[in-house]
Amino acid sequence: MIGRYTRPEMGAIWSDEGKIARWLAVEIAVCEAWAERGRIPAGALAVLRKATCDIERMREIEREVDHDMIAFTRATGESVGEYARYIHLGLTSSDVIDTALAMQLRDAGAVLDRDLAALEAAVAGQAVRHRMTPMMGRTHGVHAEPTTFGLKMAVWYDELRRQRRRLDLAREDIAVGKLSGAVGTHAHVPVDLEEEVCARLGLGVAPASTQIIQRDRHAFFLSVLAGIGGTLEKMATEIRHLQRTEVREAEEPFDPGNMGSSAMPHKRNPHASERISGIARLLRGYAVTGGENVALWHERDISHSSAERVILPDACIVLDFALEDMTDIIERLVVYPDQMLKNLEITGGAIFSQPVMLALVDAGMDRTAAYKLVQRYAHASWEGGPSLRAALENDPEVTARIGRDRIAELFDPAPQLRAVDAVFARLGLPVA
């Protein structure tokens, strides 16, 4: 992934140095397990524990042999002299590669979980802050009924909690190693050694494996990351709409010195939210490729590995970036409550058509008749005629059925929004 979207901690996990350090950790843990079984002398183990891999030397060997694991074992062997024969004892390449990859994904998943927790907290804070900040609720992009900005955020908060639970499942599912040998039969590495080594590395064990860990695990992990990206895009799309000039109910932070356009000095564009929308598309693409990697020939082929060198690091890196980006947007989001109130009023009260219709039905009017009556007045109001309230107050049939005082009550959004407190309580968010 390009440096623009790579944060240091996540980048270190997926760097060549990070990968090789984990390959080395697997090899040393296997040596320790063999030493406990008497296959490697104690004196040799003391040296093997200090083994290192010169990455430049490894690359030099790889140019010769065209095999990264052979290059790794040879470069590492050069650091331990005569005891090099004990490195990679009984193993096949995927034993090391897949087990180390599980460590990388486990560690990357922990970073993503912290990212999600930070975003979840930021969204919860805005939800509580704006619990009763009234705004226009929209369906199909069209004014529907009043809602609150806090409720919008509470919906996001609940979705982020679900995504975090899914990530927990994916992290558990992916954090397994395998040391079962060339086709998974344990012909050269006993099952108990595999279990012992994986435990030392902080991993579970794939109960049954071929030459590789089965790729349904990786596909699931990528699909969860893509799902989180979808939630971020949902949030970003909403912010992009709310920042439109004609709406302007909220906008991304715009720091001093920022410039929104190279040509138009007045512009303040939702560029970060747009960037997140683009990153979500990448994540969905990675998930599709992950699904394609599940079906391999017999006990293994390597059609998956070329894709995984790109999609697994990049998916973790860009999601890490996008989560941090969205957290910053939410924490410093500029909200315009006065504009929200102004937008509530632009249809002349037409948005209160449902409570009026229901009041007429409760008063005994046929529902279809009530619907058509209110619809006629609401459309006229929307098109610049008398407000819906004024039209109703001047209709003798309506006033006879529900009275002027009741009409006035129906145009107060506050009673309609009180149930928001019940939603917040259900989510465990404070209402006081």
- Number of independent structural domains in the chain: 3
Listed residue (128, 141, 138, 135) closest to 337, CA to CA: 135
Q: 297 with 362, same domain?
A: no
Domain boundary among 31, 61, 86: 86
Query: Residues 185, 266: one domain?
Result: yes
Q: Confidence class of residue 1 from pLDDT cuts 50, 70 and 90?
A: low
User: Which structural domain range is residue 395 located in?
Assistant: 350-410
| CATH (domain of 27) | 1.10.275.10
Residues 29 and 112 in one domain: no
- Considering the domain architecture, whether residues 182 and 251 belong to the same structural domain is answered as yes
Strand 176-177 to 204-205 pairing: parallel
pLDDT in the model for residue 414: 86
In whole angstroms, what is the distance from residue 118 CA to residue 43 CA? 48
**Residues 131 and 16 grouped into a single domain:** no
Has residue 425 been placed in a domain? no
Total-model pTM: 0.93
Q: Is residue 275 part of a domain?
A: yes
**Mean pLDDT of all residues in 398-404:** 93
Q: Which residues pair with 335 in a beta bridge?
A: 250
- 79 included as an active-site residue: no
Domain boundary among 341, 367, 401: 341
- If asked whether residues 203 and 293 sit together in one domain, one would say yes
**pLDDT tens digits for range 314-336:** 999 999 999 999 999 999 999 99
pLDDT of residue 302: 83
Contact (Cβ atoms closer than 8 angstroms) between residue 149 and residue 135: yes
* 180 and 326 in a common domain: yes
> What is the domain-level CATH number for residue 367?
1.10.40.30
Same domain, 77 and 176: no
Asked if the structure places residue 415 within a domain, the reply is no
Determine which helix (DSSP H) or strand (DSSP E) holds 322, and give its type and residue range.
Answer: helix 303-331
CA dihedral 113, 119, 122, 128 (to 10 degrees): -90
Out of 67, 130, 223, 261, pick the active-site residue: 261
Same-domain status, 333 and 361: no
pLDDT for position 277: 97
pLDDT digits (tens, 9 = 90+) for 36-94: 999 999 999 999 999 999 999 999 999 999 999 999 999 999 999 999 999 999 999 99
**147 - beta bridge partners?**
135
Identify whether residues 170 and 230 lie together within a single domain.
Answer: yes
Domain match, 124 and 44 both: no
Any idea what the CATH number is for the domain that residue 281 is in? 1.20.200.10
Asked which of 64, 86, 108 is the last residue of a domain, the reply is 86
223 is catalytic: no
Judge if 239 and 356 occupy the same domain: no
Instruction: Please pick, among 15, 67, 88, 140, the residue that the annotation labels catalytic.
Output: 140
On whether residue 135 sits in a domain, the answer given is: yes
Q: Tokens at residue 10, please?
A: 């996540």
Torsion of CA 354, 359, 363, 366, to 10 degrees: 0
Question: Residue 17 and residue 317: Cα distance in Å, rounded?
Answer: 16
C-alpha 259/C-alpha 255 separation (Å) is 9
Q: Which of 155, 113, 148, 135 is nearest to 429 (CA)?
A: 155
- The string of pLDDT tens digits covering residues 30-50 is 999 999 999 999 999 999 999
Average pLDDT over residues 189-194: 96
